């Protein structure tokens, strides 16, 4: 009787052992390729920026080298820019974003700022910062881009600090590109 119970059990165990011994080793499934981070592309139009056109281009490059979740590019022909840049005789100012694709804000490169001795690239980078959702952080040191004119006329730093970069990354890092402009208030960067 013991033989009738053990024989089939031994045969089953032998078959299982043989199957395991001759089976190909298990391998891990290939990992999914890394997800490409979504980068929001915003177009700017500096065609009405007059003498500030190159300052605006330089400021856009500063932002492109400082953050990864959003990229500023000149508007291609036939498309509508999210950021319009206009030169005028007032003080520099901008509408507060963060602007999203399909939305639109305006930056005014007021000549009063450069006439007072402030650096045009710093002004442009500061005003583009408003378009990306950064408020003024005044008063502040030259190391803070959003301190604006309170950094002093000798300040030529166009680079956002770590806090300002993180704020912009948070504004655009979620990939919520269909959201409307969050505020739209006009920020006049007075002394």
pLDDT tens-digit series, residues 112-147: 999 999 999 999 999 999 999 999 999 999 999 999
Catalytic residues: 127
Q: Can you tell me the mean pLDDT for 67-90?
A: 98
Which residues is 191 bridged to in the sheet?
Answer: none
| Residue 66 pLDDT > 60 | yes
Distance CA 23, CA 2 (A): 31
Q: Which CATH homologous superfamily contains domain 40-174? A: Collagenase (Catalytic Domain) (3.40.390.10)
What string of DSSP letters covers 99-116? --TT--EEEEEEHHHHHT
Domain ranges, ordered by start, for the chain: 40-174
């Amino acid at each position: 009787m013991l033989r009738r119970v053990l024989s089939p059990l031994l045969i089953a165990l032998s078959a299982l052992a043989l199957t395991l011994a001759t089976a190909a080793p298990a391998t891990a499934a290939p990992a999914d390729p890394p997800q490409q981070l979504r980068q929001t592309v915003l177009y700017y139009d500096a065609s009405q920026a007059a003498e500030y056109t190159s300052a605006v281009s330089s400021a856009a490059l500063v932002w492109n080298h400082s953050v990864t979740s959003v990229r500023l590019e000149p508007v291609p022909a036939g498309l509508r820019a999210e950021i319009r840049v206009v030169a005028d005789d007032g003080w520099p100012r901008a509408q507060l974003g963060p602007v999203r694709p399909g939305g639109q804000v305006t930056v005014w490169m007021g000549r009063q700022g450069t006439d007072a001795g402030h650096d045009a690239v710093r002004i442009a980078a500061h005003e583009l910062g408003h378009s990306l959702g950064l408020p003024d952080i005044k008063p502040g040191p030259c190391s803070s881009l959003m301190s604006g004119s309170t950094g002093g006329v000798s300040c030529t730093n166009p680079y956002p600090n770590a806090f300002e970069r993180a704020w912009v990354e948070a504004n655009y890092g979620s990939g919520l590109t269909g959201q409307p402009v969050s505020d739209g208030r006009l920020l006049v960067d007075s002394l």
